[in-house]
Amino acid sequence: METAEKIVKELIQLANIEIPGDLEVHHPDFYARILRDGPLGFGESYMEGWWDTKSLDKLFDKINRSNIGYKIKKNKRFLLKIALSKILNFQTQKRAWTVGKKHYDLGTDLFQKMLDSHMNYTCGYWQNAKNLEEAQLAKLELTCQKLLLKPGMRLLDIGCGFGGLAKYAAEHYGVEVVGVTISKEQQAHAKKVCEGLPIQIRLQDYRDMKEKFDRIVSLGMFEHVGFLNYKIYMQTVHRCLKNDGVFLLHTIGNTFAEYPNEWITKYIFPNGMLPSIALIAKASEKFFVMEDWHNFGADYDKTLMAWHKNFEANWPLLTSKYDEKFYRMWNYYLLSCAGTFRARAMHLWQIVFTKEGMIGGYKAPREVEIRRSIASNCLIESSAG
């Protein structure tokens, strides 16, 4: 009978990964755990110091390019969870608050040390950007231009995060914004930074929205909606969007519809699910005309590496609150995701919808002029803080 070590080493060699060398194993039960628990065991064993590597992002780039994850037999518990996800609704209104409490409420201090000065926790747009600050400003500008914002419009921001887009849109496009979030920490921070502007930040589930808006946007929230709620989500947006309105959906996506990495759903984003093109199309086809579909997923690699650089640089300031196991967990999260995007195994889509189709056609921008004076000021304020 082949040993677990021999089986795992043969699989890993398919990805041109050497043990020892690319991956250093410190615990004799590592191989059996990987065969038993798959991606969950791989991540947990790293958190517990069972193995190390010189570069997690490069390791995951190799793993995803080789597709060896599908060649490792998944355990029965994981297969059962996939089956249940198609039957049970893990993103009910009650369950929806879990990710807010477990992830986004970890502490604003952590995200302040990791993100840009606008606290954008979604992919930046790096086409003409020189750094994270400019990439995030470019993403905000690109989003606002795609929404065709005009002064006096009313914008709904579903999953408004720390208020970065709401503040930017109100200040530079003269719109009124309602932002909804399921995180108390995000709401508190967003209300503070948006004070004095025509912005409401509500602690509210998107399904409870009944008002009408000229524009609706959602950056990085759809990943928490869940397959069984996609139709409800699209119905809600359709109900709240005026007939001549524009809706922009910004979401991470998978090439195929599948339950996400079990380690991610246990330790980072509870109940998360990534959509596929087919799932989004099916959920939206009865409600919207798709005007534009923009994939800039390769930019998430650069964004995650920039977040990791900030996290590493500021870790000494966080050690009083977070322990070594958290440090390894957070590194694994940021760098494994960076490598996965680098391998193009995950994508980042911005999709523009209208209710009735735009007369004369919709022209989506790809080139944006970064407001460099704003970027410079933000960098000065960030370094001073």
* Contact by Cβ (8 Å): 235, 287: yes
State residue 106's pLDDT score: 53
Question: For 284-306, what is the mean pLDDT?
Answer: 97
| 229 DSSP 8-state letter | G
Q: What is the mean pLDDT of residues 159-181?
A: 96
- pLDDT of amino acid 258: 66
pLDDT of residue 286: 94
Residue 129 has pLDDT above 80, yes or no: yes
311 has pLDDT over 60: yes
Percentage of the residues of the chain whose pLDDT score is greater than 70: 84
CA 253, CA 241: separation in Å to the nearest integer? Answer: 24
Spatial neighbors of 145 by CB under 8 A, at least 6 apart, are 365, 368
- H/E segment holding residue 156: strand 154-158
Q: Does residue 369 register a pLDDT over 90?
A: no
* pLDDT given at position 348: 98
At 27 the pLDDT is 92
pLDDT at 103: 44
Could you give the CA distance from residue 352 to residue 296 in angstroms, rounded to a whole number?
14
> What φ, ψ does residue 59 adopt, rounded to 5°?
-60, -45
- pLDDT, residue 66, reads 83
| Strand-strand pairing, 51-52 and 24-25 | antiparallel
pLDDT for 63 beyond 50: yes
Instruction: Flag the least confident range among 72-81, 220-229, 288-297.
Output: 72-81
In the numeric block, which tokens belong to residue 155? 């914008």
- Is the pLDDT assigned to residue 336 strictly greater than 70? yes
Q: What is the pLDDT of residues 181-227, one digit of tens each?
A: 988 889 999 999 999 999 999 999 999 999 999 999 999 999 989 88
> Confidence class of residue 5 from pLDDT cuts 50, 70 and 90?
confident
d(CA 345, CA 351): 19
b or e along 6-45 (b: 16 or more beta carbons within 10 Å of the residue's beta carbon)?
Answer: ebbbebbeebebebeebbebeeeebbebbbebbbbbbbbb
Average pLDDT, integer, range 354-370:
93
**8 Å CB contact between 220 and 252:** yes
Tell me the pLDDT tens digit for each residue of 230-257: 999 999 999 999 999 999 999 999 988 7
pLDDT at 372: 55
Positions marked active-site: 337
300's enclosing H/E stretch is helix 298-314
Task: Supply the pLDDT for residue 222.
Answer: 93
β-partners of residue 36 are none
- Look at residue 38 in the predicted model and tell me its pLDDT: 82
Residues 6 or more apart in contact with residue 339 via CB below 8 angstroms: 56, 57, 58, 59, 60, 61, 62, 63, 64, 301
Alpha carbon distance 168, 140 (integer Å): 7
